[in-house]
């Protein structure tokens, strides 16, 4: 495929935008190529500026669960736009979407709309700190919760007690308040909680990790976190920005039967428009300004266009059989890719939860960041570029999740599996 126009546009973009992109993973840096510039999308397809069409498994990093340009969502946004794009004042749509979220997500009794996942997690942590009167937070290596200072922290060697900044510009004094445990290891959590007794405000976790590839929780992991938090008076936050309304209508917590104290949401509840949300127990949420003293604000929070797109999206998801059909499509593509790898004699470790899936380029089990980091990223880069050449658009990183939408057709799934079979043979 010819990508000359995309490459030219990338060179132009680098003159005015740092790195040529407005979010780092878009740059294709880890796969050694120039990024595609996308011109349009419809259903399960995207088209680049060179006119190439691809079967899309990125879906704007998750929210396009109904497919690109679903007519119900387009109509809702167009209708809303005719009466105004932004007011910085309350609208009925905010309450409508809030009530839909409250009805769907077990942990949420009240919810505050924001404009991004980062804003949601940052605000949830501030609220947890204000509610508990504690300063430290605990996160997990390999789980990404946005780019707020306190969350851009990784573990030191072994079970380090204190975090170190993962980016220049993050003050060490801020990083020291972030403790980092290993995903799927309750023992690493217990050690940190014991060493910091009475000083941890919250534990924040992706209940299905989606930012080191798709890594499911092991049996008992989420239940164990719930028990530890209950015993220690720690706020348990599920970051379901990626998994909320994606793996099930009520998120991972509905599937697992484990209810956190707070939940962060994003992606899907804006139907592809910029949105985020955080919610939880009423007694916690009522501490938020203006009903309480913990401050959070945003002019574009509850933006009418995003609310309309979110309402339309959730109405689509509530239709009978939606998730059952999506589950079957997701099973077909994930199992098909895994079989293609096996038939080619190339070892991969395949994971899937609902319509989130990942092919890890390692023969060993992946259950945390150290095991994920053993993947052959050079082999993945070859596979990614080969699949792109076959018209299959995957995330340009081994450590990202692939997403299936309701718009993926059986023909395009078969095309994907056939392409994978060809590409695994090339790199085997």
Active site positions, annotated = 144, 239, 267
Tell me how far CA of residue 96 lies from CA of 67, 99, 233, 316, in angstroms. 23, 5, 32, 15
What is the distance between the alpha carbons of residues 111 and 282, in angstroms, rounded to a whole number? 9
The secondary structure of residue 63, as a DSSP letter, is T
CB 385 within 8 Å of CB 31? yes
Cα dihedral angle (122, 128, 129, 135), rounded to 10 degrees?
A: -90
CB 202 within 8 Å of CB 137? yes
Q: Is the peptide bond before 424 cis (omega within 30 degrees of 0)?
A: no
Q: Is the dihedral of CA 213, 60, 324, 249 positive or negative?
A: positive
Of 180, 117, 127, 181, nearest to 294 by C-alpha is 127
Bridge partners (DSSP) of residue 45 are: 42, 55
Q: How do strand 178-182 and strand 164-165 relate by DSSP bridges?
A: unpaired
């Amino acid at each position: 495929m010819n990508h000359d126009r995309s490459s030219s546009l990338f060179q132009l973009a680098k003159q005015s935008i740092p790195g040529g992109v407005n979010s780092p993973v878009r740059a294709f840096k880890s796969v050694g190529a120039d990024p595609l510039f996308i011109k349009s999308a419809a259903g399960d397809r995207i088209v680049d500026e060179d006119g190439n069409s691809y079967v899309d498994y990125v879906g704007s990093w998750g929210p396009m669960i109904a497919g690109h340009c679903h007519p119900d969502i387009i109509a809702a946004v167009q209708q809303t736009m005719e009466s105004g794009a932004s007011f910085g004042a309350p609208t009925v749509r905010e309450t409508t979407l809030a009530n839909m979220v409250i009805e769907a997500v077990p942990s949420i009794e009240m919810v505050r709309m924001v404009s991004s996942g980062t804003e949601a997690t940052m605000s949830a942590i501030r609220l947890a700190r204000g509610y508990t009167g504690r300063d430290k937070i605990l996160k997990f290596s390999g789980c990404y919760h946005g780019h707020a200072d306190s969350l851009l922290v990784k573990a030191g060697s072994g079970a380090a007690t204190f975090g170190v900044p993962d980016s220049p510009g993050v003050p060490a004094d801020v990083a020291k308040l972030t403790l980092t445990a290993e995903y799927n290891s309750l023992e690493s959590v217990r050690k940190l909680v014991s060493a910091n007794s009475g000083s941890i405000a919250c534990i924040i976790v992706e209940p299905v990790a989606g930012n080191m590839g798709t890594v499911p929780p092991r049996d008992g992991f989420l239940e164990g976190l719930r028990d530890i938090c209950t015993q220690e008076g720690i706020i348990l936050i599920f970051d379901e920005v990626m998994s909320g309304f994606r793996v099930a209508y009520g998120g991972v917590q509905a599937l697992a039967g484990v209810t956190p104290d707070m939940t962060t949401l994003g992606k899907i509840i804006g139907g592809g428009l910029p949105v985020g949300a955080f919610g939880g127990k009423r007694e916690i949420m009522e501490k938020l300004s203006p009903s309480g003293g913990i401050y959070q604000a945003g002019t574009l929070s509850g933006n009418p266009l995003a609310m309309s797109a979110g309402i339309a999206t959730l109405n689509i998801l509530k239709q009978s059989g939606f998730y059952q059909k999506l589950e079957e499509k997701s099973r077909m593509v994930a199992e098909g890719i895994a079989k293609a790898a096996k038939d080619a004699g190339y070892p991969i470790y395949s994971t899937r939860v609902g319509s989130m899936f990942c092919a890890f380029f390692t023969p060993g089990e992946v259950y945390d960041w150290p095991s994920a980091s053993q993947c052959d990223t050079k082999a993945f880069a070859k596979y990614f570029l080969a699949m792109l050449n076959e018209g299959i658009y995957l995330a340009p990183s081994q450590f990202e999740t692939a997403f299936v939408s309701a718009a993926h057709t059986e023909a395009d799934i078969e095309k994907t599996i056939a392409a994978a079979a060809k590409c695994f043979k090339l790199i085997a």
